[in-house]
Structure 1
Amino acid sequence: MVPSTRRRPARERLLAAASARFYADGIAATGVDTITAEAGVAKMSLYNNFPSKAHLVDAYLDARHAEWLALYRDRVAAAGDDPRARVLAVFDAYLDHADAFYPDGFRGCGLLNAAGELPAGDPGRATIRAQKEEVEAIVAAHLRDLLPDDVPRAAALAEHLAFLLEGSTSRAGLEGDDRRIRHARAIAVDLLDAR
């Protein structure tokens, strides 16, 4: 038997509600009243757990990235010690994210969507940038293992693959399905085989 969502701590319910609404409707369009109603808690409970909506947005950004990292860890574990398979595991984790159930449809990367709403200089944009740099660093580390004698080539290829990941995810979000990410993965296979 699955425990009722009402029995989960208020902080978890608030973050789950905010995550669903921020992703589906956007950060600016989602008010705290919507979040508290969906979470089934009083507004005071929100402010007891998150001093402001900005703090809730920060928690959302961290949760989105942690969600992807968990998918990546599962994929990279299945890839074993093969550096090429480990690079492709990053693409597969993006596919897993795209193929997750989204009640209101797949809208692309929640982090990039959030970055598009946050003003220049907002700390959330720096958080998102660091998270995207972490993904590129993961790809780069696998490529250094694959190309140990050509570190400059590995670095350049990591940047190309990071652009391919983010661009395909943006287009996939516009189109509402994973086809662009699947195509990007196929391009990555060609690039890895051409090394």
Structure 2
Amino acid sequence: MGTARERLLDAAAKRFYDDGVNATGIDTITAEAGVAKKSLYNNFSSKTDLVSAYIDARHAEWLDLHRSRSTQASTEVGRVLSVFDAYIDHANDAYGNGFRGCGLLNAAAEFPAGAPAREAVRAHKEQVEQILAEGLARLTDEQNAREIAEHFSFLLEGAVARAGLDGTPARLERARGIAATMLATL
């Protein structure tokens, strides 16, 4: 069943993804987690703190997916494509109301520019692009690697947005194919 903190984070992740951060109240989260409201405040100082923990957990979850896929790859090209594979894995996760795109971007869209939640999501996306650049630097020069990483980042974000609208990872799979074709020319 997990600790109260784990149950609260699981409930928040489900509700924030399905209903949105601002539309989800503390009472909904505590009811779904099966804990008293006091347990929430024993584990998180505020809803803002819970949102921050949710974003951190989603980031760590994606990094774990990527690490697993990267470890399985046998080539440098495969390691670059493992970023796409991690996005595909994420899209294939079981979602109660279906896949709706990147949970981090969905959450960030609810906050004003400069808000800590948006900054945390921006940092995640920058780290993904950095992972791409580091992998690409093993295949081409550093300048070209940064440029391709930015292109792949745009490709990924567009594909995840469209996949979220479609409710299927097909667009992400297509994006992976496009990236593989581009990598074959290096």
TM (norm. structure 2) is: 0.98
Task: Choose the corresponding residue for 1:117, options 104, 110, 131.
Answer: 110
The answer for the alignment partner of 1:194 in structure 2 is: 185
1:73 and 2:67 matched: yes
Q: How many residues align?
A: 186
Letter matched to residue 65 of structure 2: L
Q: Hey, what's the Cα distance between the residues in 2 that align with 1:53 and 1:151? A: 42
Letter matched to residue 176 of structure 1: G
Q: Hey, what's the Cα distance between the residues in 2 that align with 1:111 and 1:17? A: 16
1:184 and 2:175 matched: yes
Deviation of 1:46 (Å): 0.5
The answer for the alignment partner of 1:20 in structure 2 is: 14
The answer for the alignment partner of 2:159 in structure 1 is: 168
Letter matched to residue 26 of structure 2: V
Listed as ranges, the gaps of 5+ residues in structure 2 are none
Q: Hey, what's the Cα distance between the residues in 2 that align with 1:151 and 1:31? A: 46
Cα deviation code 1:137-190 (max 9, x no counterpart)? 00000000111xx22111100100011111100110111000110110011011
Task: Choose the corresponding residue for 2:81, options 64, 85, 88.
Answer: 88
Q: Hey, what's the Cα distance between the residues in 2 that align with 1:104 and 1:185? A: 25
Q: Hey, what's the Cα distance between the residues in 2 that align with 1:160 and 1:184? A: 11
Cα deviation code 1:59-88 (max 9, x no counterpart)? 0000001111111111000013x2111010
Deviation of 1:104 (Å): 1.2
Q: Hey, what's the Cα distance between the residues in 2 that align with 1:65 and 1:130? A: 10
Cα deviation code 1:111-130 (max 9, x no counterpart)? 00011111122111111111
Q: Hey, what's the Cα distance between the residues in 1 that align with 2:112 and 2:8? A: 24
Q: What is the CA RMSD across the aligned residues, in angstroms?
A: 0.8
- What is the aligned-residue identity percentage? 60
Letter matched to residue 45 of structure 1: S
Deviation of 1:193 (Å): 1.1
1:41 and 2:35 matched: yes
Instruction: Flag as ranges the 4+ runs of structure 1 deviating above 6 A.
Output: none
Deviation of 1:194 (Å): 2.0
Q: Does the residue aligned with 1:107 lie in a helix, a strand or coil?
A: coil
Letter matched to residue 44 of structure 1: K
TM (norm. structure 1) is: 0.93
